[in-house]
Amino acid sequence: MNRDECQKLINSYVDWLRQGLSVEDVNGACELTTPFLDRHNDHLQVYALRKNGNIVLSDDGYILSDLRTSGLDVDTPKRKMVLDGVLNGLGVRVENDQLLVEASPKNLGQRLHSLVQAMLAINDMFVMAQPRVASFFFEDVRAFLDGNDIRYTARVKLAGKSGYDHGVDFLIPKSRTRPERILQAIAAPKRDNIFAYLWTLSDTRSARSGTEQEAEAYAFLNDQEQSVGGDVVEALNAYRVVPAVWSERGRYVNALRE
């Protein structure tokens, strides 16, 4: 793909995002409904309030409350460590079980983007965490990398051409024979998560083009509970992303280790 085609992808994403957004005044707060879906196929909502000259953006406690209602204890040491890793990487904090960020008018868009990313990541990370599942998919991928002596940095923030920062799960540095590799652990391979990852790649690749060899991109797709759809594989292939289906993960060891 050339630069014009990459720009078309960004424009397409922004158009889809704009068309899917709506806002209502709810008791003095702005209730922003986004096009992103949670694990119940409900649209994620963000609430905005003014406070001391800034704007506080919050999920109103929905994400963590929903997980607890579903019987998932998010306060175990391992799960809290994973949760804190996501939040710290995106600059989001928890207060009274609410996920929230503070923004100024200048960085409102970026901070909203970070909050929505955190809501999606936490929802996605815990969606497969039923009592019979020993660990989160992110931790499964980390253990796979460690077990195969693949060097990486976890929870990396990359700057995009748009000015937004994007969180990626794993970054493998370049070697003498391979460029750097970006890995994302996608526990629920569905349209929203795939589209968000493609947006991240397009935006960061555009920012880094001309300065470094283009990074290779991998999406580890969890097929432990459900099969991965052909449309997901086709979409990833179309944007030069390797669809690394988890059940076939052994095929990718050499490419990641080099």
Q: Tell me the pLDDT tens digit for each residue of 96-107.
A: 999 999 998 888
- What per-residue confidence (pLDDT) applies to 99? 95
Q: What pLDDT, on the 0 to 100 scale, is given for residue 92?
A: 93
Residue 58 lies in a domain: yes
Provide the pLDDT for residue 144: 93
Q: Taking residues 225-242, report their average pLDDT.
A: 86
**27 and 101 co-located in one domain:** yes
Of the residues 80, 97, 127, the one at which a domain ends: 127
Whether residue 177 is contained in a domain is answered as yes
pLDDT, averaged across the chain:
84
Q: Which residue segment(s) compose the domain that 34 sits in?
A: 3-127
pLDDT > 90: percent of the chain: 34
Query: Residues 183, 252: one domain?
Result: yes
- Confidence (pLDDT) at 217: 92
Are both 165 and 72 inside the same structural domain?
Answer: no
Residue 132, in any domain of the structure: no
Q: Check whether residue 101 and residue 189 sit in a common domain.
A: no
Answer yes or no: is 188 within a domain.
yes
Residue 234 in any domain: the answer is yes
Of 75, 101, 127, at which residue does a domain stop?
127
The domain tally of the chain equals 2
- Average pLDDT score over residue span 51-55: 86
Which among 104, 217, 114 is positioned nearest to 164, based on CA atoms?
Answer: 114
- CATH (domain of 220): 3.40.1350.10
Neighbours of 103 (CB within 10 A): 18
Tell me the average pLDDT across 167-185: 90
Residue 96 and residue 183 in one domain: no
* Residue 103 and residue 58 share a domain: yes
Instruction: Answer yes or no: is 48 within a domain.
Output: yes
Which CATH number covers residue 78? Answer: 3.30.1460
Mean pLDDT of 71-95: 82
Among candidate residues 80, 96, 127, the one where a domain is terminated: 127
For residue 248, pLDDT beyond 90: yes
Residues 74 and 94 in one domain: yes
**Is pLDDT above 70 for 219?**
yes
Residues 148 and 253 in one domain: yes
- Is 32 part of any domain? yes
Q: What is the mean pLDDT of residues 247-251?
A: 93
231 in a domain, yes or no? yes
The pLDDT value given to residue 60: 94
pLDDT at residue 74 greater than cutoff 80: no
Same domain, 123 and 9: yes
Mean pLDDT is lowest, of 49-53, 57-61, 202-206, 211-215, for 211-215
Are 11 and 46 found together in one domain? yes
Q: Check residue 239 and give its pLDDT.
A: 87
pLDDT confidence bin for 256, thresholds 50/70/90: very high
- Convert the pLDDT of each residue in 108-167 to its tens digit: 888 998 999 899 888 876 654 544 343 578 888 999 999 999 999 998 888 887 777 888
pTM of the model: 0.56
Q: Are residues 156 and 248 part of one domain?
A: yes
Which pLDDT belongs to residue 3? Answer: 72
What was the pLDDT predicted at 127?
57
pLDDT confidence of residue 225 = 66
Q: Are residues 159 and 246 in the same domain?
A: yes
